[in-house]
Amino acid sequence: MSHTDKPLTLAGKTYQSRLIIGSGKYKSFEENLAALEASGAEMITVAIRRVNLGQHKDQPNLLEVISPDRYTILPNTAGCYTAADAVRTCRMARELLDGHKLVKLEVLGDQKTLYPDVTETLAAAEQLVADGFDVMVYTSDDPLIAKRLEEIGCIAVMPLGAPIGSGLGIRNPYNIRMILENATVPIIVDAGVGTPSDATIAMELGCDGVLMNTAIAEANNPVLMASAMRKAVESGREAWLAGRMPRKLYASASSPIDGTFF
Amino acid sequence: MKLTVNGDTIDVTAPCTIQDLLMHLDMATGRVAVEVNREIAPRSSHRETQLRDGDNIEIVHAIGGG
């Protein structure tokens, strides 16, 4: 590659990979780890939940399989429907991970769509930024809300491509473009990617990264799909850097007309 | 004394620190975070923090999620 890309920087740390994966819906921690390795991702998001009191101590722990020394752990607030619950979850995560400040904020509004509740999201973002967290925030693809979240001090804004777990792809590329045009922080598409071409489209639009869970975890072969996603994200990034040809309504011959002998 | 731990009521013998509770639950070596009455109890305080009858404790860990 003749062009050298700048790495993705999040909260002062640089990442060669622009893919972030999840840890939900896998058959086992081992399958999750194999997918993580195949994806090339350097960051993985995890949920924070109650310990089952009946759990045996020899039962493996996610953080023992996926090491925080090797990967950046991104605790998320999945399942929170209020700003207060999300802030509380982030504080627990920070304690769990020894003062780690990076979090993925999501405050949901409705169980059927899992759409973000943007008013609660804005309130939680303000509290978390004031509390010293580095906030990567899941939000709708509304350009004005994305800008507000950036102004609050979120270190990355993560608009959905389509509802969480839907696999419907980038439903509104024009909104993502508007968000990108106004942004000075990394924009990462979070949610909606179903197949590698969706991830490529997000990257071709100029997104700084893609976060996905179900598209890999629910593939028939998650490890192979993780590898496909790695290539898709890299491909879309390179295409964006290369700059695509303009769209034209009519044909444009690729072979010269001069020198024809017929 | 009675404590509420992750929504369940359990009986423990007083005195009981957070560390004692974690050992009682077989979680002393695990990577967990603890809240007592909605306040974070930092790991460094587990050995000295005495729990009181009626305390509400949450013990969480990281699990798979997206």
Dump pLDDT digits (tens) for A5-55.
899 999 999 999 999 999 999 999 999 999 999 999 999 999 999 998 876
Question: Is A231 annotated in the active site?
Answer: no
Q: In this structure, which amino acid lies at residue A236?
A: G
Q: Which residues pair with A93 in a beta bridge?
A: none
Q: How far apart are CA A61 and CA A76, in angstroms?
A: 17
Residue-wise pLDDT tens digits, A159-217: 999 999 999 999 999 999 999 999 999 999 999 999 999 999 999 999 999 999 999 99
Q: Say whether the ipTM exceeds 0.90.
A: yes
**Nearest residue on chain B to A213, alpha-carbon basis:** B66
Quote the pLDDT of residue B27.
Answer: 86
| Number of inter-chain CB pairs under 8 A, A vs B | 106
Whether the predicted pLDDT of A120 surpasses 60? yes
Ranges of residues in chain B with a pLDDT under 50 are: none
Q: In this structure, which amino acid lies at residue A31?
A: E
Q: Using the beta-carbon criterion (under 8 Å), do B65 and A23 form an inter-chain contact?
A: yes
Q: How far apart are CA A193 and CA A196, in angstroms?
A: 8
Radius of gyration of chain A (CA): 20
CB A45 within 8 A of CB A20: yes
Helix ranges (H only) for chain A are: 29-39, 62-65, 83-96, 118-130, 143-152, 173-182, 196-204, 214-217, 222-242
Average pLDDT, integer, range A62-86: 95
Confidence of residue A1 (pLDDT cuts 50, 70, 90): low
Q: How far apart are CA A190 and CA A188, in angstroms?
A: 6
Q: Using the beta-carbon criterion (under 8 Å), do A50 and B31 form an inter-chain contact?
A: no
